[in-house]
Amino acid sequence: MLKKLLGIAPKPESDGSYSPSKIALKLATVDKSDYEEIPYKKYTGGKSKILVIFTEQKNMKMQNGKSFSTGNHPIEALVPMLHLKNAGFDFEIATPTGQPVVFEMWAFPEKDENVKSIYNDLKSSFEHPKSLQLFIDNSLSKTDSYAAVFVPGGHGAMLGIPEDKNVGEILNWAHENNLFTVTLCHGPASLLATTLNDQEFLYRGYNMAVFPDSVDKMTPKVGYLPGPMPSPLSEKLKGLGANIVNTKADDTVCRDRKLLSGASPLAANALGKLAAETLLEELK
C-alpha cells in the first residue's frame, strides 16, 4: 500500500504481469525521442536489406515469481531504423516463430511523430513477421542482398532469443559473410546464441556496449521491474570474454569490427547514426 501511495508500485496488467510504476515511467521513459533527422546520401546498391530480429515474447519471470511486462523497447527499435531507412535501407522483420512482434507500449513516445510514422508504416510487418526458420530456408543464399542484422533491445530480447539455434545460425552467417550486426541495451543477449551446441562465443575479445547489470539491480526499488532479474546479462557476456565498455545506462555506442552496439535507450539515436554512417561508408 505504501509503495502504491508513493507511486513506486509496479502496475498490474490484465494477464497478471506488471509494467513499470508511475515514478519509474517518469524517470525512464519519454514522450519524444532525441531522434535527429539527417539528410544522408542514400544507398542505392544491391545490399539494401537489413534483417531485424524482434522478440515475440512479452512476460519475463523474475526471481520472486512475478512477471515483467516487456518486449522490444520502441525507441531502441524504431529510432535506429529511422536512421537506416533515411540512409536508403529497408527491412525484413522476423521473430523466432513468426508470431507478432511484441513492443513495450508503455514506453512508446506518443508525441514523437517520426517514431509513430515508421511504426505505422511497418505495422503490418510487425503483426505478420517472417519466422527465422523461413528466413534461413529462403534467404541465407542471398547474402548479396543484405547489409546487416539488427537485434533491438528491451528486456524481451532475453526471452527465447539467446537459446534459439536459428539466431545463432544467422549471427554466424552474418559474421562469415562480413555483414554488420547491430544491437543495443539488452539486445546483446542475442549474441549468447552463438554459444549453443558447445560452440565458442563468436564475440570473445570484442568490445561492446550493454545495459549494465548494476542498473537492473537498482530498478526494482522504484518499481520499474517487479522483482530481481532472473539472470545478469553483462556478467554472462563478460564471462564469455566480452569487454563491456560502459558502466552506466547512457548514450555510449561502440564499434568493434562488424559489431555495432549501444548501452541503453539513450544510445538509440547515436547507434542509428553510427549504423547508417558505417554502412554507407563500407558499402560505397
Domains, the chain? 47-91+106-283 (3.40.50.880)
Q: Which set of grid coordinates corresponds to residue 165?
A: 539455434
Please state the separation of Cα 146 from the chain's center in Å.
19
Residue 166 scores a pLDDT above 70: yes
Grid cell 552474418 — which residue? 174
Q: Which set of grid coordinates corresponds to residue 170?
A: 544467422
pLDDT tens digit sequence for 37-95:
999 999 999 999 999 999 999 999 999 999 999 999 999 999 999 999 999 999 999 99
CA distance 79 to 275: 11
Residue 7 scores a pLDDT above 90: no
CA Rg value for the chain: 18
pLDDT of residue 284: 86
Q: What is the mean pLDDT of the chain?
A: 96
Enzyme catalytic residues: 185
> Would the pTM count as exceeding 0.95?
yes
CA distance 195 to 208: 17
Residue 151 near residue 183 (C-beta atoms within 8 A):
yes
Residue 72 near residue 189 (C-beta atoms within 8 A):
no
Residue 276 near residue 85 (C-beta atoms within 8 A):
no
pLDDT tens digit sequence for 113-126:
999 999 999 999 99
Per this entry, what is the length of the chain?
284
Three-state secondary structure call for residue 75: helix
Alpha helices in 59-189 (DSSP H): 74-86, 113-121, 123-127, 132-139, 165-176
Residue 254 scores a pLDDT above 70: yes
The answer for residues whose C-beta is within 8 angstroms of residue 283's C-beta and 6 or more apart is 43, 45, 47, 147
pLDDT tens digit sequence for 208-231:
999 999 999 999 999 999 999 999
- Amino acid of residue 32: K
CA dihedral 170, 246, 159, 7 (to 10 degrees): -150
CA distance 18 to 69: 5
For residue 83, which phi and psi values (nearest 5 degrees)? -60, -45
Closest CA to 194 of 230, 151, 253: 151
Read off the pLDDT band of 161 (50, 70, 90). Answer: very high
- Amino acid of residue 108: F
Residue 153 near residue 103 (C-beta atoms within 8 A):
no
Read off the pLDDT band of 1 (50, 70, 90). Answer: low
Longest dimension (CA), the chain: 59
pLDDT of residue 2: 45
Grid cell 494477464 — which residue? 15
